Amino acid sequence: MSREAGATELRTRSLPPDRPLGHLAEELLGAVGRLPELARHTVVVPHPALIPHLAAALRVQAGQPCPLPRILTLGDWLAQQPVPPAAVSRLRLVAELQRHLGSQRWLSAVDRWQLADELTLVFDEWLEQHTRLAVDLGALTEQVARAATGLRDRGLQFESHLANELCLATHGRSDAGLTDGQRRALAMAHLAAHLAGPVWVLDAGRVSARERDFWLACAVRQTVTLLYLDASLCSRSAWVAAAGVQDARPLRERAAGWMAAHPQAPTGISVFSASGREAEALHVCNTVCEWLADGVGRIAVVASDRALARRLRALLERRAVLLNDAAGWTLATTRVGAALRDWLAMAWQPTAGLLANCLDSPLLAPRLDASTAAAFNAALARQAPHARLDWTALNRSLADAPLALAMLGELQQSTRGVRGAARPLGDWVAAMHQALCSLAPSLADDPAGAQLLQALDDARLRLRADASPRPADELVDWLDWWLSTTHYRETGVSSPVTLTYPGATRGMTFDAIAVCGADATHIPAPVSSRRLLRDAARAQLDLQTAEAAREQSFDDWCLLIGSAPRVLISWQGTNDRGEPNPPSP
């Protein structure tokens, strides 16, 4: 049932970062007359990891088992709406843009896959900023056209003009197929028109312009409460926030002013300056193990330096402490990703070095016994590692090793499927997937390998509607881009220690947090390089600038430090070259 006409006010609440879910549970239970009423409510959370913790907080606050509200992310809620699925996936849109950019001679020296990837992200941001709720695709494309025309009238720079026109070309037509961004907009309109039950929005400070309009539309029908995470409500968070204020006064004066306003200094924060990466990793490892021995329950490890994170993981595993990795790694950084690159390179420029890499990789190593490996090593030792592989000589050297000869034949056969005449990108990906399944069946038993195979198969399905033929060498460039943007996440690890990053901890609380790599190089994190739109161009399109991104990152850190009673902050006082390495300002 709708609320009274004109009742579109959004309720707001502020939550402290050290107990946000507990306060939310109190608010929810206070808003319902009886526990069964909870099932009518919906709580929108910023990330799925919060769902079990909010459910637990509600049960604790209720003091008994109770029905739960619907708890989910906005993305998952929109995916459930009865709106036609997107016909143009993001992967296909990147491929189409890359092909269009490839026809521009002035972009010949640019990585066009990465540029196309950036453009799709710009389009998503553009749509969130410049379009509102629309009842159908025709109305939405009209909004896109009006917004693009209005921006064009500003006298855009070349970069912003190019992005604006490409966004209009891809999202301003109703006959080109529904994109993911367009489907999201239509799903919002449908949900706002059919909303049932009150809604609570956790971490509302990160909503986009269109999302705020969406919640206003929802408030016409139901009560909508926006919940903000407020760093000022926790002394540790406020301490970090004060340190980041731009102030020209001397540090001593700033500190005195802070102490006058906040006479009780925050407790539970310790800092450590290490003499190098190994010393820092060892100190953090020792601290985490001490916390576990003291009975500390939930520990978050936030490592801004990925090399440090790898070393810390190795040290913890030596002490039988596993890491639940919530941050993930790109497939490009995994052994199986590197093996896939080497295997594909074998199809074009086979060398003894590449073959040795393939033999030592998850593709072939599980199939090698000691005698076969020795035969390969002896045969490859007779060839220059970086010269083109002499297949005839190699086969002659392996004449007395039938298993090695058979494996070599399989490897050669597998690479034939990724050579030949031009064909659609989806067909190339399908050929690569089929070859890997045949050559390396053990990949399905490797966690990273299984995820890679599944991701390749998903890519094949998303690209099957792209019928434009492409030469075989484009597969190499596509694979480099795809591996660098597709993430691998370990599953099945149950551990009280979680490796994560600040943006994924918003709304979460821990018993202890270790922040490693807290030097000026890594914190605040450098804004990702933008090849197409610089800040001036982004500002012209009303998109987020680097300064705004830094402010968001800083807010993440403020909330993170306030979300646990024990915090270790460490950095390397000297870098690998022995030079001074200052801590983050």
Of 436, 461, 488, the position where a domain reaches its end is 488
Tell how many helices (H) and how many strands (E) occur in the chain: 23, 15
Across residues 144-149, what is the average pLDDT? Answer: 95
Domain match, 449 and 503 both = no
Across residues 519-527, what is the average pLDDT? Answer: 69
Burial class (CB in 10 A: 0-12, 13-18, 19+), 576: exposed
Reported as a single tens digit per residue, the pLDDT across 164-176 is: 999 999 898 877 7
Written as one string, the DSSP assignment of 317-364 is HHTT---EESS-EEGGGSHHHHHHHHHHHHTTS-BHHHHHHHHTSTTT
Domain of residue 130: give its range: 93-177
88 falls within a domain: no
Note whether 125 and 543 are within 8 A (CB). Answer: yes
Q: Which residue has the higher pLDDT, 126 or 574?
A: 126
Residue 584's pLDDT band, with cuts at 50, 70 and 90, is confident
Nearest CA among 57, 53, 189, 197 for reference residue 133 = 189
CATH number, domain of 203, equals 3.40.50.300
Please tell me the predicted confidence (pLDDT) of residue 4. Answer: 43
Residue 108's pLDDT band, with cuts at 50, 70 and 90, is low
Note whether 343 and 419 are within 8 A (CB). Answer: no
Using the predicted structure, report yes or no on whether residue 540 has a pLDDT greater than 50: yes
Task: Specify which of 132-136, 178-182, 353-357 reaches the highest per-range mean pLDDT.
Answer: 353-357
Across residues 94-109, what is the average pLDDT? Answer: 79
Domain match, 281 and 355 both = no
Using the predicted structure, report yes or no on whether residue 298 has a pLDDT greater than 70: yes
Q: Per the structure, how many domains does the chain have?
A: 4
Displacement of CA 434 from its chain's centroid (Å): 28
β-sheet bridge partners, residue 71: 43
Q: Which residue has the higher pLDDT, 240 or 193?
A: 193
Residue 6's pLDDT band, with cuts at 50, 70 and 90, is very low
Note whether 487 and 332 are within 8 A (CB). Answer: no
Reported as a single tens digit per residue, the pLDDT across 546-563 is: 888 888 888 998 999 999
Domain match, 339 and 456 both = yes
Range name among 1-10, 12-21, 122-131 with the lowest pLDDT average? 1-10
Note whether 44 and 157 are within 8 A (CB). Answer: no
Considering the entire predicted model, what is its pTM? 0.88
Please tell me the predicted confidence (pLDDT) of residue 45. Answer: 97
Domain match, 254 and 304 both = yes
Domain match, 379 and 524 both = no
Interior angle at CA 117, CA 114 and CA 119, nearest 5: 115
Sign of the four-CA dihedral 530, 536, 537, 541: positive
579 falls within a domain: no
Q: Determine the straight-line distance between the first and last CA of the chain, rounded to whole angstroms.
A: 52
Reported as a single tens digit per residue, the pLDDT across 357-378 is: 999 999 999 999 999 999 999 9
Note whether 515 and 569 are within 8 A (CB). Answer: yes
Collapse the DSSP code of 144 into the 3-class scheme (helix H, G, I; strand E, B; otherwise coil) and give the result: helix
- In angstroms and rounded to an integer, the radius of gyration of the C-alpha atoms of the chain is 27
Please tell me the predicted confidence (pLDDT) of residue 527. Answer: 61
Please tell me the predicted confidence (pLDDT) of residue 91. Answer: 94
Domain match, 205 and 352 both = no
Domain match, 290 and 225 both = no
Residue 106's pLDDT band, with cuts at 50, 70 and 90, is low
Domain match, 255 and 243 both = yes
Using the predicted structure, report yes or no on whether residue 261 has a pLDDT greater than 80: no
Please tell me the predicted confidence (pLDDT) of residue 1. Answer: 42
410 falls within a domain: yes
Using the predicted structure, report yes or no on whether residue 387 has a pLDDT greater than 60: yes
Of 443, 467, 488, the position where a domain reaches its end is 488
Give the C-alpha separation, 477 to 481, whole Å: 6
Tokens of 370: 């000691």
β-sheet bridge partners, residue 273: 571
Across residues 297-320, what is the average pLDDT? Answer: 92
Tokens of 517: 């790599």
Using the predicted structure, report yes or no on whether residue 188 has a pLDDT greater than 80: yes
Reported as a single tens digit per residue, the pLDDT across 458-516 is: 999 999 888 899 999 899 999 999 999 999 988 778 899 999 998 899 999 999 999 99
69 falls within a domain: yes
Please tell me the predicted confidence (pLDDT) of residue 80. Answer: 97
Written as one string, the DSSP assignment of 2-50 is ---TT--PPEEEEE-TTSHHHHHHHHHHHH-SSGGGGGG-EEE-SSTTH
522 falls within a domain: yes
406 falls within a domain: yes
Domain match, 191 and 296 both = no
Supply the angle between the helices 335-346 and 473-485 in degrees, to the nearest 10.
180
584 falls within a domain: no
Using the predicted structure, report yes or no on whether residue 276 has a pLDDT greater than 90: no
Query: 557 — phi, psi (to 5°)?
Result: -65, -40
Residue 107's pLDDT band, with cuts at 50, 70 and 90, is low
Domain match, 122 and 158 both = yes
Using the predicted structure, report yes or no on whether residue 3 has a pLDDT greater than 70: no
34 falls within a domain: yes
Of 199, 229, 259, the position where a domain reaches its end is 229
Please tell me the predicted confidence (pLDDT) of residue 507. Answer: 94
Q: Which residue has the higher pLDDT, 415 or 494?
A: 415
Domain match, 317 and 458 both = no
DSSP assigned state of 88: B
Domain match, 465 and 380 both = yes
Please tell me the predicted confidence (pLDDT) of residue 530. Answer: 59
Please tell me the predicted confidence (pLDDT) of residue 37. Answer: 92
